Amino acid sequence: MRRRLSPKCCVFGIGILIILWMTFNLARWEWKLSPEPSHSQRLSLRARKSLLVKNPRTQGQGLQSFSVVRHCEELSEVFNKALVKRYNQSLLYSLGVVSDPDDQRARDEGYQKFAFNALISNKIGFHRALPDTRDSRCRDVTFPSIHLDTSIVICYHNELPSALLRMLHSILDRTPEELIREIILVDDSSTLDEVSCQIEAYVNQHLPKVKVVRTPERQGLIRARVYGAHHAKGEVLVFLDSHCEVNTDWLEPLLLRISHDPTTVVVPVIDIINQDTMEYQSSPLVRGGFNWGLHFRWEQLPDSDRKDPDLGSKPIQSPTMAGGLFAMRRDYFHRLGEYDLGMDIWGGENLEISFRIWMCGGRLEIIPCSRVGHIFRKRRPYGNPAGSDTLLKNSLRVAHVWMDEYKKYFLNQRPQANNVDYGDVSDRVSLRKRLSCKSFQWYLKHIYPEQILPNDTKPVKSDTHHQATKAKFSMKKTRVIVRHGRLKHVSTNLCVQSEKDIYTKKALLTFAECDDVSLSGQKAQLWFETVDNQLMLAQLLCLDVESAMAGKSYARLMKCQDSGSSQTWTWTSKNGFSHLYNPASGKCLTATPPRVGGYLSLGLCTESEDQHFLMS
Ligand code: UDP
Ligand code: MN
């Protein structure tokens, strides 16, 4: 018998129906407010699930990756491979011209956040042609089929989107597809929200091979790389800094070498992308070493390498690596102990892995046929949450684990290291035992016999990372003079000279009545222009800018460096006015004011008489 519905039951039923109807409508209304999930959002949601990989070291601390769906200003760049643009030097220089205060603000902000010229980087776009910097013998090679695939791991903390995205396109444009399993971007808790948002949105929408994972809190580049490596599935890991551009056939020679010997770790030649002009410049063939302050340095190749007729196309054995760019088998990376997770933020890990590779049975080589450009920056734009000297702490860990009795040389160099807590290294000491690694003495004798031991008591002067980088590029070079004469301000006919004397570094430049340069010994106003567009006073010091970053800066005399620096000056003429343009600052030499005793500064390029100079 069917039971009759009671009136109470009816009211209850109707109530339920009303609630359901309201909920449904409310949901529809909300759905209308929130936009249709985009392709990128769906992708991110998928990515979010698939990337839930736990880092064994930090399990339990909730260190999981995720891809957040966020809305940010879209980057509207055409990502068409066919649109590779060519930028020669003068075009790049013209992109760098600071035309108005808005340009200046954008430029200054870029330098402050990223420590290179964001104004130019943004204008270049995502595809550009690069000069092929390889030895000609590398170009004729046809590669046999390579049966290895790679996971490219790129960590970043606050990277300029245009630089990172151009880098990703350079990889995708210049690498056979089958060699790339995936590209893993590790956003190491960037604090500039807009930046990581733009990168992530673009990648999710346009670059299916690229996955973004994010550390839940700042790890530093060492732990961030391990974190990325734990997500990787490719047979080979390639680590790259987040401001590189890869050159033609960059990956094949690296993989070829690894496929012949699975315990060889390979490094491309690191070409230079100039931080001020974004010019791509070839690097000389040098190898990695270190000083006893445990600073990495570039060194000339030993005679045996330099005399080798195959130099330029043959692998070069290197005692250490610079650290930012290298490739090795993934299983070997894990077997060899990944990285020392006790190291913070930046520094020291490159020497640690170099020592470990050699001492524990592997090899480290530079592959000259593989070229990758890297933006070398004068400073690192990010801080360290703890405010400590992470390079010192990390170097102490290197010394205590790997250097045996030789650690005393480091400790002598850095007396302040005695008060630094470098944490527990017992895990790394056990790793060294477990891998039956050789002694540091063996390493010095067989891998780095050129290394000189310092006098035990007298500390040798140590250079910094930046000096080391500079050292690489300021190898003695003869300067070719193209002309000489007085540097004159046209309308006043005044001459440019040092505020002090011709020998004083950092001296400002001022105007004076012109001397008679024909008189012997009168060099105070005699300028020499080199083939590299440098202006040398009395062939001693070079015309430079105080700071390529500051809004207002003055011209100064500095020790001459190599070209491509802030000492480059090009003559540009417009409507009969010849300016002296300084590409590093994007500005023109300006008289402030053009009278005796007035200074020379850098100003927005205009057609003002204050910027009208000539050499005579
Ligand atoms: N990096 C990171 N987390 C950090 C510091 C650095 O992921 O806490 C990244 C950084 O964005 C860059 C790479 O690690 O891609 C190497 O750092 P950097 O370029 O500053 O080092 P350098 O080239 O000066 O040695
Ligand atoms: Mn870098």
Among 15-24, 148-157, 300-309, 434-443, the least confident range:
15-24
Instruction: Give the ligand whose atoms come closest to the C-alpha of residue 196.
Output: 1
Ligand 1 atom 13 nearest Cα: 241
- For residues 150-174, give the mean pLDDT: 97
Write the pLDDT tens digit of every residue in 27-55.
Answer: 433 332 232 233 333 223 222 222 223 33
pTM exceeding 0.95: no
CA 375–ligand 2 middle distance (angstroms): 6
The span from the CA of 588 to the CA of 594, in Å, is 14
- Residue of 184, 215, 242 with the most ligand 1 atoms within 8 Å of its CB, for mutation: 242
Q: Is 359 in the pocket of ligand 1 (CB under 6 A)?
A: no
What is the SS3 string spanning 480-544?
Answer: CEEEEECEEECCCCEEEEECCCCCCCCCEEEEECCCCCCCCCCCCCCEEEECCCCEEECCCEEEE
Is the confidence at residue 60, as pLDDT, over 70? no
CA 115–ligand 2 middle distance (angstroms): 10
CA 527 from centre of chain: 35
Is the confidence at residue 66, as pLDDT, over 80? no
CA 345–ligand 1 middle distance (angstroms): 8
Q: Is 403 in the pocket of ligand 1 (CB under 6 A)?
A: no
Q: Is 220 in the pocket of ligand 1 (CB under 6 A)?
A: yes
- For residues 399-409, give the mean pLDDT: 97
Write the pLDDT tens digit of every residue in 358-378.
Answer: 999 999 999 999 999 999 999
Q: Is 346 in the pocket of ligand 1 (CB under 6 A)?
A: yes
Instruction: Give the ligand whose atoms come closest to the C-alpha of residue 114.
Output: 1
The contacts of residue 359 (CB under 8 Å, 6+ apart) are 402, 432, 437, 438, 439, 440, 442, 443
CA 154–ligand 1 middle distance (angstroms): 10
**Tokens for 144?**
């046999």
- Residue of 153, 160, 241, 394 with the most ligand 1 atoms within 8 Å of its CB, for mutation: 241
Determine the pLDDT at residue 455. 73
Backbone torsions φ then ψ of 10, nearest 5 degrees:
-60, -45
CA 155–ligand 1 middle distance (angstroms): 7
**Tokens for 522?**
């009168």
Write the pLDDT tens digit of every residue in 554-602.
Answer: 999 999 987 667 899 999 887 778 999 999 999 999 999 999 999 999 9
CA 123–ligand 1 middle distance (angstroms): 23
Q: Which CATH code is given to the segment(s) 137-446?
A: 3.90.550.10
Average pLDDT, the chain: 86
Topology annotation, domain 481-615: Trefoil (Acidic Fibroblast Growth Factor, subunit A) (2.80.10)
Say which amino acid occupies 9. Answer: C
Write the pLDDT tens digit of every residue in 166-217.
Answer: 999 999 999 999 999 999 999 999 999 999 999 999 999 999 999 999 999 9
Q: Given the DSSP bridges, would you call strands 180-187 and 210-214 parallel, antiparallel or unpaired?
A: parallel
The contacts of residue 560 (CB under 8 Å, 6+ apart) are 479, 534, 536, 541, 542, 567
Domain boundaries, the chain: 39-70+78-124, 137-446, 481-615
Q: Is 188 in the pocket of ligand 1 (CB under 6 A)?
A: yes
On the question of a common fold for 137-446 and 481-615, the answer reads no
- Residue of 380, 467, 469, 472 with the most ligand 1 atoms within 8 Å of its CB, for mutation: 380
Ligand 1 atom with minimal separation from the 240 CA: 15
Band of residue 506 on the pLDDT scale cut at 50, 70, 90: very high
Q: Is 242 in the pocket of ligand 1 (CB under 6 A)?
A: yes
